[in-house]
Amino acid sequence: MTRYPRDLRGYGAHPPDPQWPGGARIAVQFVLNYEEGGENCLLHGDPASEAFLSDIPGAAPWEGQRHWNMESVYEYGARAGFWRLHRLFTGAGIPVTVYGVATALARSPEQVAAMKSAEWEIACHGLKWIEHRDMPEEEEARQIAEAIALHEEVTGELPRGWYTGRCSMRTVRLAARTGRFAYLSDCYDDDLPYWRRMEGRDQLMIPYTLEANDMRFAATPGWVTGRDFGDYLIDAFDTLYAEGQDGAPKMMSVGLHCRLIGRPGKIAGLRKFIEHLQGYDGVWCARRIDIAEHWARVHRPVDRERPSEMDRDSFVARFGGVFEHSPWVAERAHALELGPAHDSAAGVHNALCRAFRRATPDERRDVLTAHPDLAGKLAAAGRLTAQSTAEQAGAGLDHLTDEARTEFQRLNANYMEKHGFPFIIAVRDHDTAQIRAAMERRIDNDNETEFSEACRQVERIAELRLRDMLP
């Protein structure tokens, strides 16, 4: 593998200001997963009963049998839990996004009517609430298409958001391929939405959450009391709200399930959290589609260079001159395991430096000797690379007096005679006086020490050059 598809960089140290409506310091988004009637069940054509996300300790699938107790737990979510949550959110005036399993929605017409009456967004949560990891690609694509069709048939509208949950490695790609969704949410990797290039288009991803999620009432370690859940949500909110006050607003997702948080002893913690956030100004409670529309309007996708996707010749043509007259550094860097994390100045710099550091001492010495003397004859003759010319000019080395130029040439000659390579320093970090002082100081270093220092300076020069070329 020479290309690593996972993106471990994201927005990096400086995420964008989301510019939430009204200058909000945080966007809070509640998701209600409606899965009841779409779970594994022999009645639904599945080979075994459901075993996931219930209050039954140690539940396991019953092959070839219906699990009466499991079915009853799920039924509680539809019969009682949903309505308790509906009253809570409509009473608080907070909009909700429903992740609706299409077959579950089809079996719950009164609940769907209540969702629509409350103007909740109903996003698609797949055709059935089952595992997709071992499903053949053609079958998964077929089920996605069937889920979309059934969702529209039941709700009267096409879904604009998609979340599978129990997905495969192909799910996100297959959902993006449809071109139908304003956002996908099968990701948990950020506190802000982001664009991802897939299937030839920019797909908006709105990350979901598995930690600010009531599913941990049915997991270990998890919540024991409603207060546990409420306290965790409050701590998360307070942290993100403070970041928003410091100029870095974020988004907070809260995941809910009718059969879990819909129980009386658990919903108290959710109610406590809602009361807490309603005590603050600058809180935007929104549906996911509202967030998607805002992001698409304010933060449109930007077509940018992706070095990790360049072929070898393009990569070398673009970055072959970063290490002075040494395109082999870029050639070897391109052969490394590059990925989205390398699509930045820091990423390409890391790859180039790895190739440089792997090289033999003689190869690295060749890179050093490829660098021109500071204020030397090549500069006077106008024969430097454009980058070197600009760098030396930026440090004032192109406006030296005759006396100063003569002194630089003397120091260069003495340094070269002792160490066997030109004096190298990242001139953009220094002024003329500092450069001269460094020359006078470093000339007395032993050769090994100075070789290491010169290599560090070459890497620093490369870093500064790449900052001019990439974000």
Catalytic one of 334, 371, 419, 430? 371
Query: Beta-carbon neighbour count of residue 380 at 10 Å?
Result: 13
Listed residue (91, 165, 84) closest to 125, CA to CA: 165
Residues sharing a CB contact under 8 Å with residue 388, sequence separation 6 or more, in sequence order: 324, 371, 372, 379
Q: Map tokens 């100004």 to a residue.
A: 281
Spatial contact of 439 and 415, defined as CB atoms under 8 Å apart: yes
For 103, left (φ over 0), alpha (ψ -120 to 50), or beta?
Answer: alpha
Angle at 66 between CA 62 and CA 72, to 5 degrees: 110
- The two tokens of residue 436 are 């001269």
Residues sharing a CB contact under 8 Å with residue 405, sequence separation 6 or more, in sequence order: 375
Angle at 227 between CA 222 and CA 230, to 5 degrees: 85
Distances (CA, A) of 105 to 31, 39, 462: 15, 12, 57
Residue 371 among the catalytic residues: yes
Q: Map tokens 């072959």 to a residue.
A: 320
Query: Which amino acid appears at position 133 of this protein?
Result: R
Query: Beta-carbon neighbour count of residue 79 at 10 Å?
Result: 16
In this structure, the strands spanning 26-34 and 250-257 are parallel
Terminal alpha carbon distance of the chain: 26
Residues sharing a CB contact under 8 Å with residue 220, sequence separation 6 or more, in sequence order: none
Distances (CA, A) of 144 to 162, 168, 172, 181, 184: 10, 12, 11, 12, 13
Alpha helix (H) residue ranges in 63-191 = 68-76, 82-92, 102-106, 109-117, 137-155, 171-177
- Cβ burial of 5 (10 Å; 0-12, 13-18, 19+) is exposed
Among all residues, which ones are annotated catalytic?
Answer: 371
